[in-house]
Amino acid sequence: MDYLITEELPSFSQFARLHEDSGLLKNKKGNYTREQLYEAAKNSWYSISIYNDQKLIAFGRMISDGVYQSLICDVMVHPDEQGNGLGKQVIEKLIYKCKESGIQSIQLFSAKGKHPFYKKLGFAEREHDAPGMSLLL
């Protein structure tokens, strides 16, 4: 199948629809509007969008300092398209952008139950004595 892969941010409506269809919207911590989530995506360092027949079917983004740290956020694939390698393509493009920029440290937060997917792509869980931490306000 021929997919269109672009670094351009999708339209608000396409982004909001995929956020909801993929289930990522209900996994968000905090009460954010769709508009706020789109604004966050607009403020990303880099993003990838994949379309099938002008419909957004996969998306991923990163925030970064552009030098040595990056954080992968909001990787989502439409449920009807899962299993077709699109998530892998998104991650590979994000990793390539880091390599191209000389960034050697890539972090990510995985949606519940998705960590085996990321392990297959080379990501490792943090060591037990060096856990990641978060603060929700």
Active site residues: 118
Smallest Cα–Cα separation from 86: which of 55, 63, 64, 112?
A: 55
Smallest Cα–Cα separation from 89: which of 58, 56, 134?
A: 58
Instruction: Tell me the HSE value of 50 on the side-chain side, using a 13 A CA sphere.
Output: 25
Quote the tokens at residue 130.
């060096």
